[in-house]
Each structure stands twice: as structure tokens, then as C-alpha cells.
Chains A and B, each alone.
Chain A
């Protein structure tokens, strides 16, 4: 065991190796490691942000769905009201129409009755004249008694 030139050579080798490690190995290993931790941090942040946005979107969606539901209820209510109105209106107009028809029919009936009564009156007058002539056994001059017959007919 003795101290010799190996000492000097080894120092040079050691220094060279330190230099190499410092120049190449260390930064090249640590660089990607830092880069990776940066990426992971970014990824985590992005994930958190995404989650927040999702929650916000969900809230917005809830609000929209709520509004839509209210609108729908409003629309249904309006429609119901409109339908009721329509039915009401239809009922009104149908009643009026019925009454109109009834009135017309009644008028017609009255007219017909009057007309029938007129015919009947005439026939009754004639029958009465004929009956009277039979009773008198002679012709009654209708023209002479037209006035009398007419008065009789109106009394029937």
C-alpha cells in the first residue's frame, strides 16, 4: 500500500465525472422530471376546472329546465283557459241559434195556424151557407149574403 500517481489520475477522473454528471446527466434527468410535475399540476388544475364548469353547467341546466317547466305550465293553463272560452262561446252561440230556430219554427207554426184557421173559416162559412140553403130549400144568393157570411166567418 503506497500513495502514487493513481491519486492524481483518480482526482482527474473524479473531476471529469463530476463535470459530466453536472453538464449532461443531472439536467437531462431533472428536466423531464420538472416538466412532468408541471404537466401533472396542469392536469390536476384542468381537472378541477372541468369539474367546476360541469357543476356550473349543471346549475344552468337546472335553471333552464325549471324555466321550461314553468313556461309549459303557463302554456297549458292558457290553452285550458282558451279551450274553456271556446266551449263557452260555442255553448252561447248554440243556444242563440237554437232560440233563433225555435222562434222561426214558432213563427211558422203561427203562420200555418193562421192560414189553416183562415181556410177552415172559409170552409165553415161555405158549409154553413150550404146547410142554410138546404134548410131554406132554395139557393141563397151568395153574393146577396156575402156580407152576412163574411161576418159569420170572422166570428168563427
Chain B
């Protein structure tokens, strides 16, 4: 805890919200810098997910499965069932994509349950000043996923319906007319009505995940800030109360958050499958 430095709650939280960047950002969009912590943890978790599943899958047997194989099969079967419920075509990509999203996002989110100061303090011990450990509280990470999904939506829409069909879907509904001139006149209105939901998909995907996890992390920080003054206040009743409150509230929030992190991973997965299923459908 940062008792020696006597941080205010404001400074503490601001410190926690700062990324380990390769440089100071010049403006809201600056492609010359990179958030090292987000990339590091997301790659680490990708390796954790991919490695675990790969090792289990490599030794998978059609006979009696072991405990790990059982677990992996449980996850795979759930995802597969979810995909089959929503998407009825044949597509080799969607199910593995859904599995990747669910597991990866879940692991991102699960980082939130680690004590909020644990890894940043350890990092400070080896001279790293800032460290954000939950990749899904980085807009870059959530947008990277949602934009990839968006690209897949566009790709499959054009692949399944043809460019004309896709553009027709965007411009010739929901208002239709027999008269070609009226049809042309209706194009702007249709385009406006169709393009907004289309663009809203990646944005809502990314912001929903980001918002939920950012808020969750923020609650943990606020709870941690309760006993910010730490050992110096342990002599007072109020200090003890603050520590006790942080423990109880932190526990309650962490348990509740287990639901949130699973649910958010699930929602991201299901919506992706739904969007891709819609991209395959003909109107």
C-alpha cells in the first residue's frame, strides 16, 4: 500500500488508471505509442488459453477423458451448443471464434479479481511505475476485438450476399417502392436507418465490455482507497473500520464481479455469433 507516499484517493486512482505506455500520448489518437501492459497481459492470457487448450487437446482421447479434458470439453461443448442454437449454416470459423472470444475475454476479465494493488506493486518493485493488469479495461483491446468482428461481419455479408446484395440490404430497406425513382429517392433514408445499427454493433460490443469492466475495476479502486492511509490509521477506530469495510465490501464486490466477468465474456461471444449469423442470412 502506498502509505509512505501518502497519496490522496484521487492521485491513487489516477495512478491506477495510467497505462504503461511506450510514450506520452499526443492527443486522443496517437498511433506512435503502444500500451505495453495491455499487450503483455493479453498475449500472456492468449498463450495461457491457447497453450492449455492445445496441450489438453493434443492428449485428448476418445476413451474416458481426464479432468482437464473434461473441463475443456465442457467449455467447447457449451460454446458449440450456443453457436448451433444461433447459427444454422456451415462455417468453420464461427465456433472456434466464439470459443476464442469467450475464453480470452473471460481471462481478461478474470484479471480484475486479482487484488487491485498486487501486480502494480510487484511491478513497482522492479521499477515499473504504471501497470494496468485488466486488458478489457483498455479501449484499444476491446475495440481491436470488436473491429475484427466487424470486419468479419462485412466480409461474410459480402461473401454470402454478394456486394450488390449487401449494398441493397443497406439501401433498399426498410422503405421499399415499386417506382424506380421513388426507390432512388428512398436510398438516403434507408442508408441512414441501416448504417447506424451496423456501425453501432462494433461500438456497442467494445464499449459494453469496456464500460462494465472499467466500472468494476473502479469500484475495486474506490474500496481500496478506503484504507488508503493504511497502517498510519490503524491506531484509530475509524481506520480499523475502513479496513474492515474494504474487506467486506471487496469480498462482496468480488463475488458479484465473478458473475459480471463471466456474463460479459458470454455476451460478447453470443452477440458476435448473432451478428455473424445475421451476416449469413438473406432477407
Residues of A within 8 A of B (CB): 1-11, 13-18, 20-22, 24-26, 28-33, 35-36, 39
Contact = CB atoms under 8 A, between A and B. Distances in A.
Interface of B: 17, 21, 25, 27-35, 38-39, 42-43, 46, 49-50, 53-54, 56-58, 60-63, 65, 69, 72-73, 76-77, 80, 92-93, 95-97, 99-100, 104, 138-141, 143-145, 147-148
Nearest to B75: A29
A12 to B, nearest CB: 8
Contacts of B80: 30
Nearest to A23: B96
Contact of B76 (A11, A17, A33): A33
Given A10-B141, A32-B62, 8 more contacts: A2-B25, A6-B39, A7-B140, A13-B39, A14-B100, A18-B97, A25-B57, A32-B61
Contacts of B77: 33
B32 A32 contact: no
Nearest to A15: B148
Q: Determine chain B's interface SS by DSSP, over half rule.
A: helix
Nearest to B79: A26
Contacts of B69: 32
Nearest to B38: A6
A79 B89 CA distance: 80
Contacts of B96: 18, 21-22, 25-26
B92 A22 contact: yes
A7 B97 contact: no
Contact of B60 (A17, A22, A29): A29
Contact of B99 (A3, A10, A25): A25
B145 A10 contact: yes
12 contacts: A2-B25, A3-B28, A4-B32, A7-B140, A13-B43, A13-B46, A14-B145, A17-B104, A21-B53, A24-B57, A25-B54, A30-B76
Which one of A3, A9, A14 has the greatest number of beta carbons of chain B within 10 Å? A14
A64 to B, nearest CB: 40
B39 A10 contact: yes
Nearest to B27: A2
A97 B143 CA distance: 127
A10 B60 contact: no
